[in-house]
Structure 1
Amino acid sequence: MIEKRPLWPRIKPHLLVFDGALSLIIFLILSLAIVTLYSAGIDFPGRVEDQLRNILVAFVVMWIAANIPPQMLMRFAVPIYSFGIALLIAVAVFGMVKKGARRWINLGIVIQPSEIMKIAMPLMLAWFFQKREGMVRWTEFAVAGILLAIPVALIARQPDLGTALLVLAAGFYVIFLAGLSWKILVGLVVTVAASLPVLWTVLHDYQRQRVMMLIDPSSDPLGKGFHIIQSTIAVGSGGLFGKGWLKGTQAHLEFIPERTTDFIFAVYSEEFGLAGNLLLLFLYLLLIGRGLVIAANAPTFFTRLLAGAITMIFFTYAFVNMGMVSGILPVVGVPLPFMSYGGTALVTLGLGAGILMSIQRHRKLVQS
């Protein structure tokens, strides 16, 4: 007769899957987020409750991802990428149009397929380079570039330049970490710089206006430059220690646009000042540092590339959002990771964090 093991020892390995350091860092950022969101969304009843539900969903997704072995992620790489491309094509053909953009599709529930590609793209390229480990030549980089260009072009066409740039960055990080030559990289930079006049002509009018407002927002202070001017005023008015929680005038007098989502950093800066910003930056540095440690210790080429790319995605989110709010980058729809209100981005970030935890957890299981 076979003796069954007690229930707890059997389910324990599947429940206690979170990486302690990474979980603590994310929890601290989310705590700051809820405090700030309460102030920023005080005129939006139910916003905090909705975000708490979003956080719960993100943690469930994180837990599921942390339980999936990296080997299984490799098997799913091509199907997930192919499914994402198919959805992007479907969006281009018969997607839903909102505010002049065709970004969504109704599959019983309304989804934005471009969000899938933020994880599917590095997953696919990490799989691609894993299959060619030790024999990566310029032809492999060319194929990887094509695999990256297809979803980026489809997303930019929607138009959604912000998400297209994030997907481009996610894929580029994998290609760079796979061993892209500095000579090729310099050549790409020179080519992009030389093609800027052509790229300028293909941008939509509103995208060109965003770039012009970055250069001189005062040229249209009550129109296109309003967002940048008001957010930079909020960031600067916080001073050293901020105006205090719930005392941000720019936010509560409704000068800051999208203050619970893309511009929540302006609300945070005004109320908590430079000291609060340094704390938040320190937490993001810890988040990125922990991710890079996981990437450095990953056991396979695939997991190293995937962990490194996901970690750099976190960096890109934070850098672009803070740069946008501070007036050093054009305004694009990029949320501040784990701070901005919204379910889709939070679930995507939770999925990325869960994959990092899976890589770290299964490395330990292999070693033991």
Structure 2
Amino acid sequence: MAFDKRAWLDRLKKMFVGFDRPLALTVFLLLCVGIVTLYSASIDVPGRVEDQLRNILLTFVLMWVLATIPPQTLMRFAVPLYTFGIAMLVAVALFGVTKKGAKRWINVGVVVQPSEILKIATPLMLAWYYQRRESSMRWYDFIVGFVILLVPVGMIAKQPDLGTAVLVFAAGLFVIYFAGLSFKLIVPVLIAAVIGIGLVATFQEKICQPQVQWPLMHDYQKHRICTLLDPTSDPLGKGFHTIQAVIAIGSGGPLGKGWLKGTQAHLDFIPEKHTDFIFAVFSEEFGLAGELVLLTLYTALIARGLYIAANGSTLFGRLLAGSLTMAFFTYAFVNVGMVSGILPVVGVPLPFMSYGGTALTTLGIAVGLIMSVGRQKRLMKS
């Protein structure tokens, strides 16, 4: 039987009909930049790049699978996935594995971190809820939304895992805001936050004393904030991360020192250089020019995601795609701010750059869900 090239190409196109090409291309370019940087950051650790390449392959498979699932089908998983995630957090609190003073993991044959599930399950659940309430939205629906959001955020923060709690809170808050929460209600909170930050900065010498206890915060969290305000107060401890990262970023200059030529990274001054602080490695080797290229790619990623969200055919799709897209912004903003010394060190990876299978898988799932929303719109037009 003769080989029908046109029929084969048509079948191949149908397989990838869910892929949004601009979004997929942007993610691919970010992953390429990430692999190049990871190679330099992990040159003394054989196998790490190969592991990340396997993670990337799995990520694209998940993106492809989820991009082909209609949003109406995704809605059916909202309540079960959210309930399962909360149940797993309860199991962590009761039977969790403790590492370095934090109880974030549970052993189910393999050690897993259930809080990662809530990065997807929480905005999915909130988008489902507001889709159900679309025709009869009332003021109390936003209170219900905050309850749905604060349950997992509070449980994750108690582990303690402030970085993940911030990411889950941000993703859920964007759903509530896009659902119609008035910006006038957010402004007072922002003003209070600015005043609080100003007071902490003004009275840091008094309130950062060891004997002073901060309400609702662990000592290590207080120490992180105080060290952020003055890294030199603990230059060989908590301040070491920030000081060395800022040195690496500044020493990169306009064009950087060149690939594989970063001294801060290769002399092991930068801690966690393959994960949370990979931006410092990239900045030292590629300089301001590289940073601008990287930020342009993140801007393109966010812009494309918001475009897909704005054109979603249902409220569920618009809320889900919009919140997940803004979650990428939160990831990038918090990580770059943390490494640059303007935000506390909270353990947030740089999207598609940092090494790690769990975080990369979560990001790939988010991109697949956004593509699913875009695919539904294209199918309705065709």
TM range (shorter): over 0.9
Give the secondary-structure state (helix, strand or coil) at the position aligned to 1:246. Answer: coil
SS at match of 1:202: coil
The whole-number CA distance in structure 1 between the counterparts of 2:298 and 2:160 is 30
Q: Does 1:340 align with 2:354?
A: yes
Q: Distance in 2 between matches of 1:27 and 1:47?
A: 19
Whole-Å separation in 1 of the counterparts to 2:114 and 2:235: 35
Instruction: Report the CA distance shift for 1:264/1:60 in structure 2 as closer, same or farther (over 3 A).
Output: same
Q: Identify if the C-alpha distance between structure 1 residues 255 and 138 changes in structure 2 by more than 3 Å, giving closer, same or farther.
A: same
Find the aligned partners of 2:32 and 2:220 in 1 and give their Cα distance.
35
- Structure 2: how far apart are the matches of 1:92 and 1:192? 30
For the residue of structure 1 that corresponds to 2:214, the secondary structure is helix
- Structure 1 residues 122-131 or 16-25, which shifts more? 16-25
SS at match of 1:186: helix
Distance 1:193 1:137, change over 3 A: farther
Report the secondary structure of 1:159's partner residue.
Answer: coil
Report which stretch shifted further, 197-206 or 352-361.
197-206
Q: Distance in 2 between matches of 1:365 and 1:202?
A: 49
C-alpha distance in 2 between matches for 1:180 and 1:9: 45
Residue 3 of structure 1 is matched in structure 2 by none
- In structure 1, C-alpha distance between the alignment counterparts of 2:12 and 2:379, rounded to whole Å: 15
**More off after superposition, 214-223 vs 271-280:** 214-223
Q: Indicate the SS of the match to 1:350.
A: helix
How many residue pairs get matched? 363
Q: Per-residue deviation at 1:204?
A: 0.9
Aligned letter for 2:221? Answer: Q
State yes or no: 1:203 paired with 2:182.
Answer: no
Aligned-pair Cα RMSD in Å = 1.9
Structure 2 partner of 1:63: 64
Q: 2:236 aligns to what SS in structure 1?
A: coil
In structure 2, what is the Cα distance between the partners aligned to 1:107 and 1:8? Answer: 43
Q: Secondary structure at the match of 1:97?
A: strand
Report how far residue 111 of structure 1 moved. Answer: 1.2
One of 277, 286, 296 as aligned partner of 1:272: 286
Q: CA offset at residue 15 of structure 1?
A: 3.7
* 1:130-168 residue CA offsets vs partner (Å, 9 max, x unmatched): 111133222000011101010001101111011001100
Q: 1: CA distance between counterparts of 2:262 and 2:47? A: 20
Secondary structure of the 2:83 match is helix
Against the structure 1 CA distance between its residues 199 and 82, is the aligned structure 2 distance closer, same or farther, given a 3 Å change threshold? Answer: farther
Report what 1:315 is aligned to. Answer: 329
Where does residue 113 of structure 1 map in the other structure? 114
- Secondary structure in structure 2 of the residue aligned to 1:83: helix
Distance 2:196 2:271 in 1: 33
Equivalent residue of 2:343, what SS? coil
In structure 2, what is the equivalent of residue 328 of structure 1? 342
Which residue does 2:167 correspond to in 1? Answer: 166
Structure 2 match to 1:222 = 236
- Measured after TM superposition, the shift of residue 108 of structure 1 is 2.2
Aligned residues with identical type, % of pairs: 65
**Structure 2 unaligned residues grouped into runs of 5+:** 1-6, 201-211
* Amino acid corresponding to residue 290 of structure 2 in structure 1: G
CA shift, 1:105, in A, is: 1.1
Task: Quickly say closer, same or farther: Cα 1:199–1:337, change in 2 above 3 A.
Answer: farther
Deviation at 1:312, TM superposition (A): 0.1
Q: How far off its partner does 1:224 sit? A: 1.5
CA distance in 2: counterparts of 1:86 and 1:11, whole angstroms: 40
Matched AA of 2:381 = Q
Contact 2:213 2:219 (8 Å CA) reproduced: no
Find the aligned partners of 1:300 and 1:159 in 2 and give their Cα distance: 36
Map 1:137-148; keep pairs closer than 5 Å: 137-148=138-149
Alpha-carbon deviation of 1:342?
Answer: 0.3
CA distance in 2, matches of 1:316, 1:63: 24
Q: Which amino acid aligns with 1:78?
A: V
Q: TM-score, normalised by structure 1?
A: 0.95
Aligned equivalent of 1:73: 74
**Which secondary structure does the structure 2 equivalent of 1:104 belong to?**
strand
Aligned partners of 1:104, 1:136: CA distance in 2, in Å?
38
TM-score, normalised with respect to structure 2: 0.91
Structure 2 CA distance for aligned equivalents of residues 104 and 202 of structure 1: 22
Contiguous gaps of at least 5 residues in structure 1: 1-5
CA distance in 2, matches of 1:10, 1:239: 49
Distance in 2 separating the partners of 1:183 and 1:287:
28
Task: Find out whether 1:258 has 2:272 as its counterpart.
Answer: yes
Distance 1:199 1:115, change over 3 A: farther
